[in-house]
Amino acid sequence: MSDARRVKSRAGCLQCKRRKVKCDQSVPSCHQCLRQKLQCPGYQKPLKWIDTSGDTKAAFLPESKKRNSKARRISESTSSSSSPSREVFVRAHIPSLPKKIDDESSTLIRHYFTRVCKIAGCFDSEISPFRTIPAAMMCHSRPVFLLLQASSAAQLSRQHPKMRYKALSLQSEAFSAVRNEITSLRGSMIVSDELMLTCIIAGLTSTWYDVNDLGLSHVLGSQFLLSLWLESKKHRLKYQETFILGAYVYWLAISAFVTGDPRSSFHFQEGLHETVRRLDMSFDILDDDDEPEASRRVFPHPLTGFSMQTFICVGKVGSLCRLAHAETSLTLMKTRYQQDQLAEKARLVEAELLNMSQSRLYNFRDPQDSQTTVDEILAVGEAYRCAGLLQLYMTFPQLLQQYDQYHVYNEGSSWEDQFLCELTHQEFSSASTLTPLHHNWLRRLALHILSILESIPPSSGTRVLQGLPALIAATWFVDPMHDSRSFNHPFLPLKISSRLKEEGRQIVRQGLQMHEQYVGLQQVSRVLQILEEVWRRDDEGEGKCDWIVLVASKGLQTLYG
């Protein structure tokens, strides 16, 4: 054996330590990892965690007291078939920080782990990747360390306006550090997990600094970085990598409704969808490579829940609808072929959404958050699926025409009513606009989405994800149109609701006002501003107002997640 295989590494990369070989600590990757064609994880030291459940000041105790603090042990609250060896050991909420950082930085980092993590995803517990992954990365990644502070300062700035200057300063520093890392890629072209996650967090939080900042530059730059990042993933994605990909999918989905070129965005999402279908991913917080596929555990993603593909499809809906409106507003003379091509893409996305189901599988695992359950996460996923279909049908009403054979006349309707309804339906159909029959069914679909969201307790952590489906559904809290028939969708049966529009509107108003107080972010009030304007226009009776057209014309775009 060579000397390299006889010497135990104590100061090298984690890969060499694991293999017990000598590491030369080269940057960006050591020669041992390069020779073995392994991804070098770097030279960070393992994080020390302390229990701060009783007092957040404990995060800054002297080292001697930190050694004596006990770690909290969390046992899986799952099925009895789980083996004891699969128990999860997690250590408290806030990592111990390097001595060199100043008090302001430590305060902002502490705010991230005590407050921002609670609103970053649909659950917050000691296994939340918004806690564990950034905590490990910030010790050796300057962009991550700066951006965690910046996001904390931005979240505080609504209540403390002076913090906005600090937030922008830290954001600028973080972007400078990111540019330096991107410049260093020219040789290896290997995008690290740290760089990828930094770009995603920057995009997701762009409206925290300025409600009108849609993060377009982050969206465009991240597409190139994601392609490079995915190219380097030749193996099954680890949990950390799955988390990063899911966070990107969610960000891309909510931004597709407001920013970027809709045509290129749609094509990129199509390619990403195919990639996600092919990828083998781990959804377990522990390494499950040795587990049989049938017994592998599935922990929810804090942003995409249990269905990453649902959010990709919803993102494609956003791009397609913006593309359709853009071509109309620019009065482009589309050929029949171009119209059919766009409609065909809409049909394919409709089929994908209709065929999706999120059954409660036995291996779904609880996120260990007392405020969030598996069923609530599944319910939000269903709300997104239905909201995607609602928006798609509004923009492409011809999709509903293929189901017109399933309509039935209401009991007691006269033949004169039936005859007039048929004439009206033919008139609207020929113009590719919503018929009264379809209008009433979309209204029912909107109220169905509201009932899904209403079934979730207002204290649920999933409230941070409900913005987009609530917005899409609430724009359809309108009066029904007169029609003696009822439309039945063969693949999406709905119950008839007796709710009035004002009742639904008031529920959403109160929910958004409560949510704004909870998260302290301006984009929540922007959503309510959009809804009030849509409702005002709808009540004036000049035709159904499409919120996507409204926000584009009034400059009310923001990220609605």
User: Does residue 496 carry a pLDDT above 90?
Assistant: no
Which of these ranges, 89-103, 124-138, 429-443, has the smallest mean pLDDT? Answer: 89-103
User: Does residue 439 carry a pLDDT above 60?
Assistant: yes
Can you spell out the DSSP letters for 360-396?
Answer: --TTB---SBTTB-HHHHHHHHHHHHHHHHHHHHHH-
- The two structure tokens encoding residue 391: 């928006």
Mean pLDDT of the region 332-342: 70
Helices within 475-558 (DSSP H only): 501-519, 522-539, 547-554
Instruction: Report, in angstroms and rounded to the nearest whole number, the Rg of the chain calculated over CA atoms.
Output: 26
Q: What is the CATH number of the domain that holds 16?
A: 4.10.240.10
Q: CA 315 from chain center: how many Å?
A: 10
Q: How far is CA 452 from CA 172, 188, 374, 384, 445, in A?
A: 40, 48, 14, 10, 11
Give the global pTM: 0.80
User: Does residue 301 carry a pLDDT above 90?
Assistant: yes
DSSP 8-state symbol, 70: P
C-alpha 495/C-alpha 508 separation (Å) is 20
**In a domain? residue 353:** no
User: Does residue 165 carry a pLDDT above 80?
Assistant: yes
Mean pLDDT of the region 12-17: 78
C-alpha 236/C-alpha 279 separation (Å) is 7
**In a domain? residue 24:** yes
Domain count, the chain: 1
**Whole-number pLDDT of residue 329:** 56
**Per-residue pLDDT tens digits for 197-228:** 999 999 999 999 999 999 888 888 899 999 99
Q: By residue range, what is the domain housing residue 26?
A: 9-41
Are 381 and 303 spatial neighbours (Cβ–Cβ below 8 Å)? no
**Per-residue pLDDT tens digits for 25-64:** 776 678 888 777 777 776 555 444 343 433 333 333 333 3
Which of these ranges, 280-289, 342-351, 463-472, has the smallest mean pLDDT? Answer: 280-289
**In a domain? residue 16:** yes
pLDDT band at 253 (very low <50, low <70, confident <90, very high): very high
Are 505 and 534 spatial neighbours (Cβ–Cβ below 8 Å)? no
User: Does residue 188 carry a pLDDT above 90?
Assistant: no
C-alpha 398/C-alpha 347 separation (Å) is 10
Are 379 and 452 spatial neighbours (Cβ–Cβ below 8 Å)? yes
Mean pLDDT of the region 129-154: 95
Say which residue the tokens 């991550």 belong to. Answer: 144
C-alpha 201/C-alpha 300 separation (Å) is 19
**Whole-number pLDDT of residue 412:** 52
Residue 413 parent element (H or E)? none
- The two structure tokens encoding residue 214: 């849609």
**Per-residue pLDDT tens digits for 369-409:** 999 999 999 999 999 999 999 999 999 999 998 887 655 54
**In a domain? residue 259:** no
Collect contacts of 292-296 with beta carbons under 8 A, ≥24 apart: 295/363, 296/363
pLDDT band at 462 (very low <50, low <70, confident <90, very high): very high
> Is residue 42 packed enough to be buried (19+ CB in 10 Å), middle (13-18) or exposed (0-12)?
buried
Q: How far is CA 158 from CA 210, 499, 510, in A?
A: 11, 36, 20
Can you spell out the DSSP letters for 273-337?
Answer: HHHHHH--B---SS--TTS-GGG--BPPBTTTBT-HHHHHHHHHHHHHHHHHHHHHHTT----HH
C-alpha 193/C-alpha 477 separation (Å) is 43
Collect contacts of 172-175 with beta carbons under 8 A, ≥24 apart: 173/146, 174/143, 174/146, 174/147, 174/150, 174/198, 174/202, 175/202
**In a domain? residue 264:** no
**In a domain? residue 17:** yes
Category of 555 on φ-ψ map: left (φ > 0), alpha (ψ -120 to 50) or beta: left
**Helix and strand totals (H; E) in the chain:** 24, 6
Triad 17, 23, 24: Cα angle to 5°:
160
Q: In sequence order, which residues have a C-beta less than 8 Å from that of residue 438 and are 6 or more positions away?
A: 393, 397, 400, 487
> Is residue 431 packed enough to be buried (19+ CB in 10 Å), middle (13-18) or exposed (0-12)?
exposed
Look over the chain and give the mean of its residue pLDDT values, rounded to a whole number: 82
Residues 274, 558, 174, 53, CA torsion sign = negative
Which of these ranges, 283-287, 411-415, 513-517, has the smallest mean pLDDT? Answer: 411-415
Can you spell out the DSSP letters for 198-224?
Answer: HHHHHHHTHHHH-TT---HHHHHHHHH
* Choice between 218 and 85, residue whose per-residue pLDDT is larger: 218
- The two structure tokens encoding residue 292: 């049989």
**In a domain? residue 23:** yes
C-alpha 79/C-alpha 65 separation (Å) is 37
* Choice between 182 and 330, residue whose per-residue pLDDT is larger: 182
pLDDT band at 339 (very low <50, low <70, confident <90, very high): confident
Mean pLDDT of the region 316-336: 77
**In a domain? residue 70:** no
